[in-house]
Copies of this chain bind each other. A is one copy, B any other.
């Protein structure tokens, strides 16, 4: 379940339009990553022919669950880092964030190349 970003006084730097863009981008990335994961689970399961394959699938799911649970639990103060990670991992393009103010895009872009 995708958790909705929490808004508080730290979000003063995000206009309402930017918040809409951010929420949409976040949702889009989550859906893309989820769909890719589900496809990979089905593909891996098709080739499960030995117990070691099942435990390998288990290890894969453990790692992805930990990663996804952590990555998509965010709030506005961390959003630049979250978007940078999503851009770096290929789940979001920097163009999809172009309605954000230039300084935010520049930070996300720089962070995504680290």
Contacts and interface: CB of A to CB of B under 8 A. Distances in A.
Copies of the chain in the assembly: 2
Interface size class of A (residues with CB under 8 A): 20 to 34
A12 B46 CA distance: 45
A113 to B, nearest CB: 29
A61 B56 CA distance: 10
B50 A45 contact: no
B62 A58 contact: yes
A16 B51 CA distance: 29
A48 interface: yes
A37 interface: yes
A42 B38 contact: no
A52 B41 CA distance: 12
Interface of A: 1, 34, 37-38, 41-42, 44-46, 48-55, 57-58, 61-62, 64-65, 68
